[in-house]
């Protein structure tokens, strides 16, 4: 085959050692709009092909376009490395960036010498126009959402509003070996995009303009049926921003999944206000369809903070959803953020207290805790700047910027220790099952700590007394020794290992 090559690259979203492979859906969305342009389209995921340089060498003389989709944080590291490699070795290829980070900071992104074009916003149609224009050597200056350089000057056109991408051709799953993206029996899938809320910490409202785009029910069932036949997945992680926006649509989808009898369980996410509109009968259908876990954006135990971020819910709503899901044997995951610039210590105290009370309601409760992290084009970004936040100034600095390890002016040194003891010891050790996830070398110590301190731990939860955390300090000392000895990243809380690399 002598066709010119268009290379689509998806950088790793997490550091090496964290097995969380993400399907490169953004690349599949792009491929569908250029598949008729007489190009050979190559898709590379860094998760699956970390040594991709040799593969690119196979197309060196035919490489015409090298395209990257990336979000803020760790994924930028791979995106930068890939782009510099292409620029240094195949300078004839045009390098095009898109995705969330280039969309929110297009001017800063296009300044880099190793990037030729940036597409800001929803990219499929603009991407098609750009590739077609470059192939035909036609004018591309009027493409909406395109940023480019000429004579060391930057030019751009305002981007289009978001559109329903279900009108575009279907994606071609067979372009990737989808079985390689099944981790612990779980496959990631999107049944919708967008969100109708406008939370102050989230760029979703800015980008999607409070719009929600669900896939037709029959399309979801057809795609999941095909994916099941290809991979035999046991679990689906619906990574929709809000799975439960429209009750009629959600119930119709669940009924269709029941009828299709695909035999899988799923986890997804939702907003408390939406979920509280569902009846007991609705939840019976949702459970029968396979739902076993729901992430709730509980965010904060401070009503002041919930109002500040325009969450459109109350703390009582979070507790009500927890009780409702417990009633129907569905596990709740509270996703929270702590340490906003206004009264960060009070916010931290009240959020941990909300989690504590929730754990007493349902011991199966799971949690995610993030630091509030200011992102450009979010409603609270200006507030963060006024409180002394100095944002990264280039792509390399943004590649270290995550919700797990923010170091912001209003943070105090003891915040991280409080989070460490609560998140990585007291919360997981509330349940006896914690011994099951411990490595063999630690199991005996975990059993001893459970025997000695389980009653104390539950007393602490009941009384909200976490002072003098001697048992947490002792157990985490053994964890650190284990990690150092084995070059491991074990922690009792699933996501604590993202918080501070020096912990290991």
CA distance 492 to 86: 40
Provide the pLDDT for residue 405: 64
* pLDDT at 152 > cutoff 50: yes
Write out the residue range of the structural domain in which residue 35 sits: 5-156
Of all residues in the chain, the percent with pLDDT exceeding 70 is 95
User: Residues 381, 459: one domain?
Assistant: no
User: Residues 144, 276: one domain?
Assistant: no
> DSSP labels for 385-452?
HHTT-----SHHHHTT--SSS---TT--HHHHHHHHHIIIIITGGGSGGGGGGS-HHHHHHHHHHHHH
The reply to whether 147 falls in a domain is: yes
User: Residues 360, 479: one domain?
Assistant: no
Q: What share of the chain is helix, strand, coil (3-state, %, to 5)?
A: 45, 15, 40
User: Residues 479, 376: one domain?
Assistant: no
pLDDT digits (tens, 9 = 90+) for 368-412: 998 888 988 888 889 999 999 999 999 999 998 877 666 789 988
User: Residues 309, 388: one domain?
Assistant: yes
pLDDT digits (tens, 9 = 90+) for 400-447: 887 766 678 998 888 989 999 999 999 999 998 899 999 999 999 999
Provide the pLDDT for residue 499: 55
Contact 106, 120 (CB under 8 A): yes
* pLDDT at 25 > cutoff 80: yes
In the beta sheet, which residues pair with residue 332?
294
> Which pair of structure tokens corresponds to residue 132?
């077609």
The reply to whether 321 falls in a domain is: yes
Contacts of 69 (CB under 8 A, 6+ apart): 8, 9, 10, 24, 26, 27, 30, 97, 98, 99
The reply to whether 122 falls in a domain is: yes
* pLDDT at 210 > cutoff 90: no
* Domain count for the chain: 3
User: Residues 339, 238: one domain?
Assistant: yes
The reply to whether 90 falls in a domain is: yes
CATH code of 49's domain: 3.40.50.2300
In this structure, what DSSP letter does residue 346 have? Answer: H
Of all residues in the chain, the percent with pLDDT exceeding 90 is 74
Cα dihedral: 471, 475, 477, 478 (round 10): 150
User: Residues 380, 497: one domain?
Assistant: no
Q: State the SS3 of 175-201.
A: HCCHHHHCECCEEEECCEEECCCCCCC
What is the pairing mode between strands 235-238 and 186-189? parallel
* pLDDT at 31 > cutoff 90: yes
Phi first, then psi, for residue 326 (nearest 5°) are: -60, -40
Provide the pLDDT for residue 296: 96
User: Residues 123, 56: one domain?
Assistant: yes
Contact 116, 96 (CB under 8 A): yes
CA distance 213 to 143: 24
Provide the pLDDT for residue 407: 76
* pLDDT at 198 > cutoff 90: no
* pLDDT at 150 > cutoff 80: yes
* pLDDT at 15 > cutoff 90: no
Provide the pLDDT for residue 503: 40
The reply to whether 203 falls in a domain is: yes
pLDDT digits (tens, 9 = 90+) for 222-245: 999 999 999 999 999 999 989 999
Name the pLDDT band for 121 (thresholds 50, 70, 90).
confident
**H or E element that contains 84:** helix 75-89
The reply to whether 421 falls in a domain is: no
Q: What is the residue-averaged pLDDT of the chain?
A: 91
* pLDDT at 120 > cutoff 80: yes
Look at 208 and 413; give whichever has higher pLDDT: 413
CATH code of 356's domain: 3.20.20.70
User: Residues 190, 249: one domain?
Assistant: yes
Name the pLDDT band for 13 (thresholds 50, 70, 90).
confident
User: Residues 367, 439: one domain?
Assistant: no
pLDDT digits (tens, 9 = 90+) for 59-114: 989 999 999 999 998 899 999 999 999 999 999 999 999 999 999 999 999 999 99
CA distance 398 to 93: 25
pLDDT digits (tens, 9 = 90+) for 339-364: 888 889 999 999 999 999 999 999 99
The reply to whether 46 falls in a domain is: yes
Structure-token match 């009653």, residue found: 455
User: Residues 207, 285: one domain?
Assistant: yes
Q: Of 141, 156, 171, which closes a domain?
A: 156
What is the pairing mode between strands 146-150 and 117-119? antiparallel
- 391 torsion bin: left (phi>0), alpha (psi -120 to 50), beta (else): beta
Phi first, then psi, for residue 363 (nearest 5°) are: -65, -15
User: Residues 98, 238: one domain?
Assistant: no
The reply to whether 57 falls in a domain is: yes
Look at 179 and 404; give whichever has higher pLDDT: 179
Assign 356 to helix, strand or coil.
helix
Q: What value does the mean pLDDT take over residues 294-311?
A: 93
Provide the pLDDT for residue 494: 72
pTM for this model (two decimals): 0.90
């Amino acid at each position: 085959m002598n066709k010119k090559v268009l290379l689509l690259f998806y950088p790793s979203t997490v550091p090496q050692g964290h097995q969380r492979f993400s399907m490169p859906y953004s690349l599949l969305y792009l491929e569908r709009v250029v598949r008729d342009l007489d190009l050979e389209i190559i898709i590379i995921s860094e998760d699956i092909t970390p040594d991709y340089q040799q593969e690119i060498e196979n197309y060196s003389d035919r490489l015409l376009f090298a395209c990257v989709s990336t979000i803020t944080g760790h994924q930028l590291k791979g995106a930068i490395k890939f782009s510099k490699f292409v620029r240094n070795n195949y300078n004839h290829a045009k390098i095009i960036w898109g995705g969330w980070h280039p969309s929110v900071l297009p001017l800063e992104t296009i300044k880099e010498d190793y990037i030729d074009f940036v597409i800001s916003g929803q990219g499929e149609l603009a991407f098609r126009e750009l590739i077609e224009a470059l192939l035909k050597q036609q004018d591309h200056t009027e493409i909406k959402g395109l940023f480019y350089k000429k004579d060391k000057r930057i030019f751009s056109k305002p981007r289009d509003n978001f559109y329903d991408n279900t009108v575009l051709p279907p994606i071609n799953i067979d372009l990737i070996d989808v079985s390689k993206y099944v981790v612990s029996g779980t496959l990631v899938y999107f049944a919708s995009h967008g969100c109708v809320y406008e939370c102050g910490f989230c760029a979703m409202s800015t980008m999607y303009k409070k719009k929600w785009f669900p896939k037709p029910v029959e399309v979801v069932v057809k795609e999941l049926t095909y994916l099941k036949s290809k991979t035999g997945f046991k679990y689906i992680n619906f990574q929709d921003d809000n799975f439960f926006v429209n009750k009629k649509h959600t119930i119709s989808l669940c009924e269709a999944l029941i009828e299709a009898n695909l035999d899988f369980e799923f986890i997804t996410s939702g907003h408390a206000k939406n979920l509280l509109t569902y009846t007991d009968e609705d939840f019976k259908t949702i459970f029968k369809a396979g739902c076993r876990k729901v992430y709730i954006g509980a965010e904060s135990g401070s009503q002041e903070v919930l109002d500040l971020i325009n969450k459109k819910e109350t703390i009582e709503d979070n507790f009500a959803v927890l009780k409702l899901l417990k009633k129907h044997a569905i596990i709740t995951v509270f996703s929270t953020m702590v340490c906003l610039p206004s009264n960060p210590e009070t916010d931290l105290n009240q959020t941990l207290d909300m989690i504590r009370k929730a754990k007493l309601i349902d011991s199966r409760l799971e949690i995610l805790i993030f630091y509030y992290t200011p992102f450009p084009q979010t409603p609270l970004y200006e507030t963060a700047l006024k409180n002394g936040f100095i944002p990264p100034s280039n792509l390399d600095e943004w590649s270290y910027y995550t919700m797990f390890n923010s170091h912001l002016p209003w943070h105090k040194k003891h915040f991280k220790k409080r989070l460490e003891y609560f998140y990585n010891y007291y919360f997981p050790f509330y349940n006896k099952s914690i011994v099951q996830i411990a490595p063999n070398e630690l199991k005996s110590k975990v059993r001893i700590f459970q025997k000695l301190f389980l009653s104390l731990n539950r007393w602490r939860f009941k009384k909200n007394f976490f002072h003098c955390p001697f048992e947490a300090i002792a157990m985490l000392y053994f964890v650190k020794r284990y990690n150092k000895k084995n070059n491991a990243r074990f922690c009792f809380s699933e996501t604590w290992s993202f918080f501070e690399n020096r912990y290991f």
